[in-house]
């Protein structure tokens, strides 16, 4: 085969496929356009603006969902957000996103059963984040091949009985090389080990975790920024051979 | 068979069939996405382009009059949208994503597009070609347009398109030399 033909074949065979998430977004846009087209002829530009907001926000909403229902991925103090209802998923969870696409919330059916309630709840929690009492409630540390890669600090905010939790990376800890798909893979492996493990009480009254394979999850205490935390450390190897240690720490009650 | 299917799809779509619209979307989504990626090498913008093409297509049912190939029509729509994006990008100097706040770093990975490593490598190499060469190659090899059709689209003589194609392939060969 001639070199030029080889290049032609390479280009011809490149293949990009829409992920399920992208497919969902594309279908939603087309359905909306198709529905609106029949009676109106044209879709207002606002639809496009809204879709762009959705695209940016979906990832952040998914991040929030990973942390837990009613938990925001991050906060920008002093900013007042106006929210739009985004969608209700098959589990009845309500998704809302700020107009500028900078913040998203997801609420369980129990917390907010309608779009209006979800928007109201998001605004309430914004106030909690901006004016509430801040409490440091956890640390997540990730080591990659034995080196600290990132440290995530979780804070709980409370105001008038309302509570929410947000996290932020410690800028002075680790190069944060585990990102994107590899971080996602690590997270799912961590969940998998955690789901298969069981808590047991030891004779000295401590709670220990045993994996499905019968191994004890290593626990240790360490001081982070002047405060002692109790960590559980789960180790696994990513598909590319990277060794990851994922530690979750809660403040030790002295 | 493919042509007959497309003709039926076009008729049903024009008659207002949502099933036809869905079938067209399912049939050409990844083809258009691949074409957009070959032209842009940017998943977010490629998604926007494909979205805009299908939305615009969905809105056009009532006035839709297409006598030629559906594939060529949709591929041409992609190219036109890509050109708009590139012009806008040159003017703005920054992508929307670049303005995203720090908090987006907390987000899970981008799962917009699934592909293999050779595809990504070739797309990166294509991105290094001049726009007009990249467009000819992507339209011909990924969009399956004939060079004559591309000449019409680019408003240049056929010989110019052939030259762009040949130079583009040569340059790709040099970029990809030893990498695949």
- Domain borders along chain B are 1-111, 115-180
Q: Out of A7, A169, A181, whose CB is closest to B109?
A: A181
CATH fold of the domain at B115-180:
Arc Repressor Mutant, subunit A (1.10.10)
Distances B97 to A36, A62, B41, B47, B94 between C-alpha atoms, Å:
28, 17, 14, 13, 8
A96-100, A130-134, A179-183, B63-67, range with the lowest pLDDT: B63-67
| B62 has a pLDDT exceeding 70 | no
A103 touching B (Cβ < 8 Å): yes
B21 touching A (Cβ < 8 Å): yes
B101 touching A (Cβ < 8 Å): yes
User: B1-111: what CATH class?
Assistant: mainly alpha
Residue of A164 and A44 predicted with greater confidence: A164
Q: Which of A25-29, A59-63, A73-77 has the highest mean pLDDT?
A: A25-29
| pLDDT in the model for residue A102 | 66
| pLDDT in the model for residue B78 | 93
| pLDDT in the model for residue B110 | 42
pLDDT category of residue A198 using cuts at 50, 70 and 90: low
Interface predicted TM-score (ipTM) of this complex, two decimals: 0.80
Q: Which of A89-103, A137-151, B3-17 has the highest mean pLDDT?
A: A137-151
SS3 B94: coil
Show the tokens assigned to B50.
């494909």
Instruction: Find chain B residues with C-beta within 8 A of A10's C-beta.
Output: 118, 122, 176, 180
B93 touching A (Cβ < 8 Å): no
| pLDDT in the model for residue A158 | 81
| B97 has a pLDDT exceeding 60 | no
A181 touching B (Cβ < 8 Å): yes
Question: Using an 8 Å Cβ cutoff, are A135 and A97 in contact?
Answer: no
- Using alpha carbons only, give the angle A171, A175, A176 rounded to the nearest 5 degrees: 85
How far A60 CA sits from the closest chain B CA (Å)?
5
Instruction: Find chain B residues with C-beta within 8 A of A42's C-beta.
Output: 59
pLDDT category of residue A149 using cuts at 50, 70 and 90: very high
| B133 has a pLDDT exceeding 50 | yes
């Amino acid at each position: 085969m001639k070199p030029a033909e080889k290049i032609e074949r390479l280009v011809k065979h490149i293949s990009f496929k829409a992920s399920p998430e992208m497919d969902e977004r594309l279908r939603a846009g087309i359905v909306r356009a198709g529905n609106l087209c029949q009676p109106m002829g044209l879709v207002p530009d606002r639809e496009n603006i809204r879709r762009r907001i959705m695209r940016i926000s979906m990832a952040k909403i998914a991040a929030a969902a990973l942390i837990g229902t009613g938990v925001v991925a991050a906060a920008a103090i002093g900013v007042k957000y106006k929210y739009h209802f985004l969608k209700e998923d098959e589990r009845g969870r309500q998704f809302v996103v700020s107009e500028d696409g900078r913040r998203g919330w997801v609420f369980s059916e129990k917390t907010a059963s309608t779009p209006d309630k979800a928007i109201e709840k998001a605004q309430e929690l914004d106030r909690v984040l901006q004016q509430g009492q801040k409490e440091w409630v956890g640390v997540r540390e990730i080591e990659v091949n034995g080196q600290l890669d990132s440290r995530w600090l979780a804070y709980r905010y409370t105001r008038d009985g309302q509570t929410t939790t947000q996290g932020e990376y410690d800028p002075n800890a680790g190069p944060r090389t585990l990102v994107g798909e590899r971080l996602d893979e690590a997270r799912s492996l961590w969940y998998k080990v955690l789901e298969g493990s069981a808590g047991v009480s030891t004779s000295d009254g401590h709670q220990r975790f045993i994996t499905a394979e019968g191994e004890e999850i290593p626990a240790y205490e360490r001081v982070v920024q002047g405060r002692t935390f109790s960590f559980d450390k789960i180790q696994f190897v990513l598909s590319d051979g990277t060794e990851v240690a994922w530690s979750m720490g809660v403040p030790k009650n002295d | 068979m493919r042509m007959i299917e497309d003709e039926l799809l076009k008729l049903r779509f024009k008659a207002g069939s949502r099933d036809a619209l869905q079938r067209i979307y399912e049939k050409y989504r990844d083809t258009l996405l691949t074409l957009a990626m070959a032209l842009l090498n940017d998943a977010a913008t490629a998604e926007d382009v494909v979205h805009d093409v299908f939305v615009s297509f969905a809105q056009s049912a009532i006035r839709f009059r297409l006598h030629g190939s559906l594939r060529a029509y949709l591929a041409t729509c992609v190219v036109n949208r890509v050109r708009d994006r590139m012009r806008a990008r040159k003017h703005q100097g920054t992508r929307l994503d670049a303005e995203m706040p720090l908090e987006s770093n907390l987000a899970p990975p981008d799962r917009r597009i699934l592909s293999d490593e050779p595809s990504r490598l070739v797309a990166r190499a294509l991105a290094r070609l001049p726009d007009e060469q990249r467009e000819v190659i992507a339209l011909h090899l990924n969009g399956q347009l004939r060079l004559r059709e591309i000449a019409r689209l680019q408003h240049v003589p056929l010989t110019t398109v052939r030259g762009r194609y040949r130079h583009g392939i040569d340059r790709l060969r040099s970029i990809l030399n030893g990498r695949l």
